[in-house]
Structure 1
């Protein structure tokens, strides 16, 4: 990685519904947790920026049926401003969540910069409207929101809908394949969709290369990578909000991320959902850091 690296800390947890035993979702601790295990030190960023999140709540917005919609929108606007105020086309950006709803603020920033693609690597599609959500949490609908599906207050902030065009999105890794209504939402869209089985079938490196071909063919201004750590097998990453048994391994992650991260048009990567409360000794976090550092710091 020859470009300067900037780290943005966005410890937002308003997109998740707390479990019965929780005071609030622990994903907001992720940036500090990674710092504790020397992630920042090993990355050696030129700058670190942080935007504190509002206090946690479970308010259900009556207009959108999305919890904390108004606060998420306010945060997304501030987040977008933070990204744009520190934008440098020659930098690689690492965005540390928080939950998946940090995608909304990053998407707003990129829409203002041009036409960008999105490589969405996640154990779920997160591509459903509010009426299909059991929780009303934005983190389970963020891909739908940023591509224009959902209430306009979330999908059309500042009149920028859609933040990403469906045909410029690859959604890879969904392991929740048994729910037909859930899966049909993305199958019936123009998103390039590879569930966990088809991702393996198509090949990890080839899927990344297929995406890069579209970026080049459509002359996009660049692209963002979304990495929800629940894409990883439960045995190597159980410290997540919604555990799924099936997933990919670290060798697979390296194979798919390396060509993307080291492409000059990669704007950056956002890392979400790793919950320190479910990894008290950092056992799984340390291994994750070791692997992601190797991928990012790999010499071209």
Structure 2
């Protein structure tokens, strides 16, 4: 049974403009208003509540060797991990609605405590910025995959001594653009990397099959979806839109192929502040309700 857990964090993102905070923390309630929870409940899903984050502080000016909001982010990751652990112990499949991509640390921490899990990372970017390839590490939402496989500062990549949360050999990334600055590195670092252009060229099912082969380790795999995998013509309400993304039907088909084997799913980076008419919330609700029908 699906257990829907809200995790409305924005701690891993940069401010959209000086003096403001990212709007993706509003995503779980925007999706509820758009009908996602009702659609899932009609198929038996339950509400697992909410894990609230600490206060967003733009502490970048004092951050040296730290990510933005690091203390609050690590504490939130621990609480997300505790809640995911509880959901799994009850025999349910968590669907974590974020929030930004830093949620991957909480999910990875939960899974690392109990077994060896793979990861399928659906994202319009590789999110592989880390101290070894950049002097600009600061926003964990763009660095989450690097942290999840142990290539970041220990404060985020080795919380409670549990890192790396995922063995990179059992991590598959799908969806980055061909000009992603870290594409060459991730191709050497991960088990499989399938840019969005290759999904379009070879088909969704082939991409999903390759991802399952890599990520289906001893305990199963976690499924991460950053909605900026969608082309901004369809989904502009994200922090970092980039052209040449996938179509809604392609993302829905990817989810449908991957969800039945997943031990849990997280959905990140939808920003309702950029969707005042709820047009994109309704689109995302359709993609998720259709694509995740086989989850659990």
Pair 1:144-2:146 in alignment: yes
Deviations 1:102-147 (A, max 9, x none): 1100110011121111110000000121462646100000000010
Could you say which residue in structure 1 is the equivalent of 2:279?
283
* Cα distance change, pair 13–133 in 1 and its aligned pair in 2 (3 A): farther
| Distance (Å, rounded) in 2 between the aligned partners of 1:280 and 1:22 | 20
Aligned to 1:245: 243
Residue 75 of structure 1 and its aligned partner are, at CA, apart by: 0.9
Confirm or deny that 1:168 pairs with 2:170.
Answer: yes
| TM-score normalised by structure 2 residue count | 0.91
Question: Any conservation in 1 of the 2:149–2:164 contact (CA below 8 Å)?
Answer: yes
Q: Distance in 2 between matches of 1:129 and 1:111?
A: 21
| Further displaced range: 69-78 or 6-15 | 69-78
In structure 2, the CA distance between the partners of 1:112 and 1:136, relative to structure 1 (3 Å rule), is same
2: CA distance between counterparts of 1:298 and 1:179?
31
The answer (yes or no) to whether the contact 2:55–2:72 under 8 Å persists in 1 is no
Cα 1:21/1:166, change in 2 over 3 Å: same
* 1:113 match: 114
2:194 pairs with 1:194: yes
Question: Would the alpha carbon gap of residues 64 and 135 (structure 1) be closer, same or farther in structure 2, given more than 3 Å must change?
Answer: closer
Residues 12-51 of structure 1 mapped to structure 2, 5 A cutoff: 12-20=9-17, 23-44=20-41, 45-51=45-51
- Partner of 1:104 in structure 2? 105
Query: How far apart, CA to CA, are the structure 2 residues paired with 1:52 and 1:221?
Result: 28
Residue aligned with 1:15, SS: coil
Aligned residues: 291
Q: Deviations over 1:175-195 (max 9, x none)?
A: 1x3354x33331331341112
TM-score by length of 1: 0.90
Note the residue ranges of structure 2 that are not aligned, 5 or more in a row: none
The separation in 2 between residues aligned to 1:133 and 1:199, in whole angstroms, is: 32
Unaligned runs of 5+ in 1: none
